[in-house]
Amino acid sequence: MGEKGERTRARMIDATRDLVEGGGYFGTGLAQVLKASGAPRGSLYFHFPGGKDELVAESLTRAGAEIGRLMEDLLADAPSLAEGVARLLDALGERLTGSGWRKGCPVATVALETAADNDALQQVCSRVYAAWEGTLRDRLAAEGRPDPAGTALTVLAMVEGALLLARAHRDRAPLDAVARSVAALV
């Protein structure tokens, strides 16, 4: 695939990510993706022969990796996991408010909408969450914390819940409350 093809493919993935994160899997149509990306109709199945599910899976994988790198960077620079999670919640809160409360977790909406009926997308969501959980677990283990796996799962659930509540309330207070709770937990 040439450079132009790669750019078209990347624009379609980025457009899908934005649309799905803001409107969900079922609220995003392929015509919207094509319009938002400026890609010609024929390029959709050329780049994504599996159709919408393949395109959404790729966008979730890319979004998950991006948030994963953010998490790794913030945790690496922080003196403790609690401070790193507070920084992560702040960054995600800025992202959320900057998007007009449309962009919380790039994976959660699709996970909620498709996990029961779409094995391929459920597996992508599961892999992204497992990677994030692993990053938290590794930091907890490096700090010598007891039960790093269980605590990592708890912290990730708290972060995800805080994003959902902040979005629902259009208020950053749940993010701040979870930052304090994580500090008390670890």
According to the model, what pLDDT value does residue 59 have?
Answer: 97
pLDDT of residue 136 exceeding 90, the answer is: yes
Domain of residue 120, residue span: 3-185
53-92 per-position pLDDT tens digit: 999 999 999 999 999 999 999 999 999 999 999 999 999 9
Count of structural domains, the chain: 1
Rounded to whole angstroms, the Cα distance separating 75 from 86 reads: 10
The mean predicted confidence, pLDDT, of the chain is: 95
Average pLDDT of span 22-36: 94
For position 180, which CATH number holds?
1.10.357.10
Rounded to whole angstroms, the Cα distance separating 44 from 34 reads: 8
According to the model, what pLDDT value does residue 1 have?
Answer: 62
pLDDT of residue 52 exceeding 70, the answer is: yes
According to the model, what pLDDT value does residue 41 have?
Answer: 87
Task: Classify residue 69 by burial, with Cβ atoms within 10 Å: 0-12, 13-18, 19+.
Answer: exposed
